[in-house]
């Protein structure tokens, strides 16, 4: 049981920060032309001072791939690395980006995220990273990082490195200052909170992580929750394009109504192999709708006071890219990591780990109105949500 007298600190599960430090309103989403691939050390993925979330919210053409610290790979680049990619990493042989002609620019940029020790470990353990053409930057000013100390004056944070690189590769891309403004805000609020903690000399009992981290919407108004899942895919044979929303689904717990809408792709339907993976068919796309109609139907489905929940907050980004409409909500993945202190994020594995039992029959019946793999993903998200709720109420 939770302590009824304790009110958990409001949290934004879109930018993964407490509400008082929320970055969402400060970040402008930019249509960067150059694909950015962030290879992130697993130990950095949940660090409260990490800046990758700023890049995820602010850049439309970006992927994050988190690598376990024990992983090792050979010289063949993984499939998520676009052709013609270069590695942004200082050192001998690195070509200064600002000195290159446009014809010499890399077609995509791989950026390592972690402490400098972790970044060196990634480079050591993955031969394909070492084999990429290497590019460097000469920072025009010291790092703006005031919470974490950089080892050298020329070292900068991940978001600062990305902004400087894009300034060299795409000088016409406007709005990059918003990413640095969000970074400054993150530093300001963290330093303020640290100073306030130093002034609090009275020791207080530390509440359990389960109470501090569980969103109030799951505890106080579970019936108001709408669990959503969106399928997105790249254009066939085009690995460098931004994933496009294909299928948007949801279940509304208040009345167990479901939402299932196939979206007409702007750039061509995915391959037969991809469709089979998604559990969809060409026939499903005969009744597909344009993104504008999806937004209209969704507006009719969402009821006032509803709380949107998805396993991965990137689900909301797929909808935002497709419709141009902002869609905030709770990312269960972040909630689960905080409550369970579980780092591995494979959803099927976590559902098996929880072993919470079957969903209520009426929920299972309602989900039959959802097509393809999306039904299974919604079931998994519901299972995790119920497991968290049962363990803390």
Per-residue pLDDT tens over the stretch 5-50: 545 567 787 887 778 778 888 888 999 999 999 999 888 776 666 7
**Tokens 């001998």 sit on residue:** 92
Task: Name the residue with higher pLDDT: 348 or 278.
Answer: 278
Q: Per the confidence metrics, is the pTM higher than 0.75?
A: no
Give pLDDT, residue 202.
47
- Contact between 260 and 371 under an 8 Å Cβ cutoff? The reply is yes
Is residue 237 predicted with pLDDT exceeding 60?
no
> Six-digit token pair at 381?
């998200």
Give pLDDT, residue 393.
41
Torsion 214-367-288-247 (CA) sign: positive
Q: How far apart are CA 240 and CA 43, in angstroms?
A: 27
How far is C-alpha 89 from the geometric centre of its chain's CA atoms? Answer: 23
Spell out the residues 6+ positions from residue 109 whose beta carbon is closer than 8 angstroms to its own: 34, 35, 36, 37, 85, 86, 87, 88, 135, 162, 165, 169
Q: Which residues of 148-162 are buried (b: 16+ CB within 10 A; e: fewer)?
A: eeeeeeebbbbbbbb
257-262 and 95-96 strand pairing:
unpaired
Neighbours of 366 (CB within 10 A): 19
Give pLDDT, residue 143.
61
pLDDT, tens digit, 9 for 90 and up, residues 245-262: 999 999 999 899 999 999
Q: How far apart are CA 265 and CA 261, in angstroms?
A: 12
pLDDT band for position 110 (cuts 50, 70, 90): very high
Spell out the residues 6+ positions from residue 264 whose beta carbon is closer than 8 angstroms to its own: 285, 288, 289, 290, 291
Give pLDDT, residue 1.
41
DSSP-derived secondary structure for 295-307? HHHHHHHSPTT-E
pLDDT band for position 201 (cuts 50, 70, 90): very low
Q: How far apart are CA 46 and CA 207, in angstroms?
A: 20
Is residue 53 predicted with pLDDT exceeding 50?
yes
What domains sit in the chain, N to C, each tagged with a CATH number? Answer: 21-185 (no CATH), 212-390 (3.30.420.10)
């Amino acid at each position: 049981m939770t302590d009824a007298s304790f009110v958990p600190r409001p949290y934004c599960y879109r930018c993964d920060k407490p509400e008082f430090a929320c970055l969402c309103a400060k970040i402008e989403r930019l249509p960067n032309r150059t694909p950015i691939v962030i290879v992130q050390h697993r130990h950095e993925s949940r660090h409260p001072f990490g800046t990758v979330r700023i890049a995820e919210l602010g850049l439309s053409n970006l992927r994050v791939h988190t690598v376990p610290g024990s992983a090792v790979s050979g010289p063949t680049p993984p499939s998520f690395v676009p052709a013609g990619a270069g590695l942004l990493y200082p050192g001998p042989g690195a070509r200064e980006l600002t000195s290159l002609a446009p014809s010499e620019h890399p077609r995509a940029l791989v950026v390592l995220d972690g402490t400098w020790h972790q970044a060196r470990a990634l480079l050591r353990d993955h031969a394909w990273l070492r084999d990429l053409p290497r590019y460097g930057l000469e920072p025009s000013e010291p790092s703006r990082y005031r919470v974490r100390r950089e080892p050298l004056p020329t070292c900068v944070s991940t978001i600062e490195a990305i902004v400087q690189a894009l300034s060299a590769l795409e000088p016409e891309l406007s709005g990059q200052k918003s990413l640095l403004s969000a970074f400054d805000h993150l530093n300001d609020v963290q330093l303020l909170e640290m100073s306030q903690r130093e002034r609090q000399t009275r020791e207080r009992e530390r509440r359990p992580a389960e109470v501090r981290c569980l969103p109030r919407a799951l505890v106080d108004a579970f019936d108001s929750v709408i669990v959503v899942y969106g399928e997105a895919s790249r254009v066939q044979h085009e690995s460098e394009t931004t994933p496009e929303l294909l299928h948007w689904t949801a279940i509304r717990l208040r009345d167990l109504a479901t939402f299932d809408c196939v979206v007409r792709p702007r750039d061509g339907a995915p391959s037969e192999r991809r469709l089979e993976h998604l559990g969809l068919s060409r026939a499903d796309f005969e009744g597909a709708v344009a993104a504008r109609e999806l937004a209209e139907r969704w507006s009719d489905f969402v009821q006032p006071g509803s709380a949107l929940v998805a396993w991965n907050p990137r689900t909301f980004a797929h909808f935002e890219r497709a419709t141009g409409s902002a869609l905030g909500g709770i990312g269960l993945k972040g909630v689960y990591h905080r409550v369970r202190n579980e780092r591995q994020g494979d959803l099927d594995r976590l559902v098996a780990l929880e072993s919470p039992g079957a969903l209520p029959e009426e929920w299972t019946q309602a989900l039959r109105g959802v097509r393809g793999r999306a039904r299974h993903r919604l079931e998994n998200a519901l299972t995790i949500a119920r497991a968290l709720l049962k363990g803390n109420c």
